[in-house]
Amino acid sequence: MLHIHVKGGEFFNEDTNEFLQVKPKTLVMEHSLLSVSKWEAKWKKPYLTKENKTPAEFRDYIRCMTITPNVDPKLYECLTAEDYRIIKQYIDDSHTATTFTSMPGSRVNSMFHRTITSELIYYWMVVNNIPTEYEKWHLNRLMTLIRICAIENNPKKKKMSRKAIYQQNRDLNAKRRAKYGTKG
């Protein structure tokens, strides 16, 4: 969960050419499947794409993330550039210690290289018997769990051959030597 304290006061909205009187409030937010679902229902397009959101779309996503009750809609107009930076950083954070090693030709890798909507994620949750309460988890953490389920439940799960393991280790060692400028 993310907490952002928005200072109250009088602000000028250049879009509407009016002054806004806003009381200070702390917004509690969660980047979750539930937030994405609300946003997609309103905007009628997938949230999880590489294209940048317009300022209005991103501000509305922040509204969808907010779990604080009874927030004055004008409060979102008072978010600072620093608030936006913190929110973006929170959204991008993995919120997990799990990392993945890419496996060439893996069905799991290709599973996440397509347009993903909230309904598809809910489908993955149903297929993997993930309780619906997890829709409130940080989205990146939920996606990691889904990816782990796909890897572990893959009936064609193959172990790497010794030759492949040795090649992978050689490649990793070469990358590390290049990164740190060492010889061995």
The pLDDT of residue 129: 92
Which residues, 6 or more positions from 163, have their beta carbon under 8 angstroms from its beta carbon?
Answer: none
The pLDDT of residue 54: 92
Domain termination residue (choose one: 92, 124, 147)? 92
Query: Could you tell me if residue 31 is inside a domain?
Result: yes
Digit-coded pLDDT (tens) for 49-72: 888 899 999 999 999 999 999 998
Residues 10 and 86 in one domain: yes
Digit-coded pLDDT (tens) for 141-175: 999 999 888 888 876 666 778 888 889 899 999 99
Domain containing residue 54: 2-92
User: How many CA atoms are closer than 13 Å to the CA of 34, on its beta-carbon side?
Assistant: 13
More confident call, 101 vs 153:
153
pTM (2 decimals)? 0.72
